[in-house]
DNA sequence: TTGACGGCCTTACGCCGTAAGCCTAGCTTC
DNA sequence: GAAGCTAGGCTTACGGCGTAAGGCCGTCAA
């Protein structure tokens, strides 16, 4: 697994393979340990060799984000817009949970790649096709993406992975808190979040459906 | 402005001043150029001296986030919850626009500081005081923060600051696009976003009010 | 056979965070 | 005052980072 490159005669390295390997490396150990040297090493090559295929590390990070978007299914056509947008939101969420570093890269990265553009174009196309006016499509686009990325921002930073670890972590947090200093947070954790059956991940669907329903009302009001 | 420390006899350096200077440095030139050496330099001190007051750079970044939260007004009590939550959302947004690096630091930073905890406790207190059940308060809390952070994530990454620059940037983007490859994005930009009077910042209020109204309906339905 | 060239390697530079240890101002204690 | 302690600075050094500059050689066209 240390070398993903066949040690063939020559020129077996290219931009695609570099990006694929970089994504794999980030998946395993995070962006912090994604260095030019580590990446080159996994490709069985020296760090400076990468610069013959890529202008610099920034370009690799740009490409990685677009690679993730390329793997996300586009909103399926032919479905009611709410269904399509719901499926699309869950698809993006699944992809960014598979590649938790991607959200962090999206911020601070200026220009989007072709897969990213195609994805967002398809989202807009779905809304427009369902009768959204241009201003209303802009509203919905901004709102849905904001909720999606914001939820992921919080979900990915939770200091635990599954439901099992929740109580341990929460216990630690509660112990660190000055007793009674944050009564409502304490109440929420002990009286709700720690109860069996609660998982923060479930909040996603609630908010998403609430937003979709509200958007539907807004579109209906507009079309009257 | 290069030294914010009086060169007094001794011990004029402390955690508070280090954090304040770090925030100032990040405001001016971003987190990328916030290095221990640059920070120490501005304080008129050598890099290693900082380690007598702070365990390491991570602790400084933690402290900076909490410093920003400390400057955000808590949701004002005595107001209807929708008004309080709206004001609070705009207050957070204003603060994170003043310190654009803060959102990036929040992600990847595990344990929140006291000001952050107090802020979120106050938000929860507002909702609970308005009659939100514990589960509904959790829903609203997650939804509002997700939208807030997600919108900021997008707004802060826009490659321009004011309305004036928009057309220049958009022109460049459109020129880079293969003609006709992204029809709906093109339509949105040329037929809406570039029109005079459009500003992405205005989308914030639309989404926020839509969410607040939808939450109000959800609470009313719950209380019946 | 030869020449050019593309693709990888070597070396080196100036950054970074920080471990380890020194130096001394200023206080505490007689 | 003198002695001694200690907190809070400073110096030095280490390993790792991204990448500029240039060398070396396998491959292929003429």
Report the pLDDT value the prediction gives residue A150, as an integer from 0 to 100.
97
**Which residue of chain A comes nearest to B142, CA vs CA?**
A203
DSSP B202: G
pLDDT in tens, B172-201: 777 777 778 999 999 999 999 999 999 999
Output b/e per residue, B183-212; b: 16+ Cβ within 10 A: ebbbbbbeeebeeeebebeebbebbbebbb
pLDDT at position B165: 63
Residues 22-41 of chain B with CB under 7 A from strand D are 40
Q: Which residues sit close to strand C, CB under 7 Å?
A: A 10-13, 40, 45-49, 52-53; B 9-10, 33-38, 47-48, 51, 56-58
What's residue B159's pLDDT?
66
pLDDT band at A165 (very low <50, low <70, confident <90, very high): low
Give A188's contacts (C-beta < 8 A, 6+ positions apart).
Answer: B124, B134, B137, B138, B141
Whether residue A181 and residue B117 make contact (CB cut-off 8 A), yes or no, is: yes
For CATH 1.10.357.10, list the domain ranges present in chain B: 74-162+199-223
Furthest CA-CA distance within chain B: 68
Lowest mean pLDDT among A16-20, A208-212, B48-52, B179-183: B179-183
Out of A220-224, B4-8, B87-91, pick the least confident: B4-8
Per-residue pLDDT reduced to its tens digit, B36-93: 999 999 999 999 999 999 999 999 999 999 999 999 999 999 999 999 999 999 999 9
- Report chain B residues whose CB lies below 8 A from the CB of A74: none
Q: Contact, A134 vs B193, CB < 8 A?
A: no
CATH no. of A73-162+199-223: 1.10.357.10
What pLDDT sits at residue B6?
A: 47
The stretch A12-39 carries a mean pLDDT of 95
Between B191 and A111, the more confident residue is: B191
pLDDT in tens, B114-154: 999 999 999 999 999 999 999 999 999 999 999 999 999 99
The integer distance in angstroms from the CA atom of B39 to the C1' atom of C18 is: 15
pLDDT band at A1 (very low <50, low <70, confident <90, very high): very low
Is the model more confident about A223 or about B61? B61
The rounded distance, in Å, linking the Cα atoms of A123 and B52 is 52
Give CA–CA dist B3/A162, Å, rounded: 47
pLDDT number for residue A8:
43
Residue limits of CATH 1.10.10.60 in chain A: 15-54
Pick the CATH number of B74-162+199-223 from 2.40.30.110, 1.20.120.80, 1.10.357.10, 3.40.50.720: 1.10.357.10
Q: Could you tell me which CATH number the domain at A15-54 has? A: 1.10.10.60
> What pLDDT was estimated at residue B162?
52
State yes or no: pLDDT of B31 exceeds 50. yes
Q: How far is the CA of A183 from the C1' of D8 (A)?
A: 39
- The pLDDT assigned to A80 comes to 97
Q: Is the pLDDT of residue A98 over 70?
A: yes
Q: Which residues in chain A are classed under CATH 1.10.357.10?
A: 73-162+199-223
Contact yes or no for A167/A151 (Cβ under 8 A)? no
Classify residue A1 as exposed, middle or buried by CB count within 10 Å of its CB (0-12, 13-18, 19+).
Answer: exposed
User: What distance in Å separates the CA atoms of residue B22 and residue A167, rounded to the nearest whole number?
Assistant: 35
């Amino acid at each position: 697994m240390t070398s993903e490159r066949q040690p063939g005669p020559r020129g077996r390295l290219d931009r695609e393979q570099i990006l694929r390997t970089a994504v794999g490396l980030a998946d395993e150990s995070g962006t912090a340990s994604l260095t030019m040297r580590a990446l080159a090493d996994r490709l069985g090559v020296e760090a400076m060799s990468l610069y013959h295929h890529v202008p610099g590390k920034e370009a690799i990070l740009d490409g990685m984000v677009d690679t993730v978007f390329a793997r996300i299914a586009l909103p399926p056509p032919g479905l009611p817009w709410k269904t399509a947008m719901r499926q699309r939101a869950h698809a993006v969420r699944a992809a960014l949970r598979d590649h938790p570093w991607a959200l962090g890269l999206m911020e601070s990265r200026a220009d989007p790649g072709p897969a990213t553009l195609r994805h967002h174009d398809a989202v807009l196309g779905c809304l427009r096709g369902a009768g959204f006016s241009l201003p209303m499509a802009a509203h919905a686009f901004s709102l849905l993406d904001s909720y999606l990325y914001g939820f992921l921002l919080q979900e990915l930073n939770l200091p635990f992975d599954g439901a099992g670890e929740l109580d341990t972590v929460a216990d630690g947090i509660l112990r660190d808190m000055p007793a009674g200093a944050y009564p409502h947070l304490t109440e929420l954790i002990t009286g709700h979040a720690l109860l069996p059956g609660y998982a923060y991940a479930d909040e996603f669907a609630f908010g998403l459906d609430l937003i979709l329903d509200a958007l539907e009302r807004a579109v209906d009001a507009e079309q009257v």
